[in-house]
Structure 1
Amino acid sequence: MPGLITRLKEFARSPQGQRAVASARRAAADPRKRAQARSLLGRLRGRR
């Protein structure tokens, strides 16, 4: 599936991708957002 990986790399290098990466980094630095993400991942994995 190299086509998907290539498209992801191209997106990450684009200005829109850079904005998305910066936004994700800001959210990851916020303790409340981190807890929300951990809770969501736990529910998706079938744990509470």
Structure 2
Amino acid sequence: MPIVERVKRFLQSPNGRRLTDQGRRMAADPRNRERARSMLTRFRRR
């Protein structure tokens, strides 16, 4: 089974949906957004 299909199946499972919702909630937090931006700028400098 191709990896893309496996990922799709996981995301449609209850566990995948739970993790997706958790990720969305974390991404909505302004502090987490700022952390992600600062990490990306550090990686881009290298």
Bucket of the pairwise TM-score, normalised by the shorter protein:
0.7 to 0.9
Q: Distance between the aligned counterparts of 1:7 and 1:45, measured in 2?
A: 30
User: What is the CA–CA distance in structure 1 between the aligned matches of 2:19 and 2:45, rounded to whole Å?
Assistant: 28
Distance 2:19 2:29 in 1: 16
SS at match of 2:45: coil
2:27 maps to amino acid: A
Contiguous gaps of at least 5 residues in structure 1: none
Identity %: 48
TM-score between the two structures when normalised by the length of structure 2? 0.82
The residue aligned with 1:28 is: 27
- Residue 10 of structure 1 and its aligned partner are, at CA, apart by 0.5
Query: How high is the TM-score relative to the length of structure 1?
Result: 0.79
Report the counterpart of residue 14 of structure 1 in structure 2: 13
| CA RMSD in angstroms, aligned pairs only | 1.7
The count of corresponding residues between Structure 1 and Structure 2 is 46
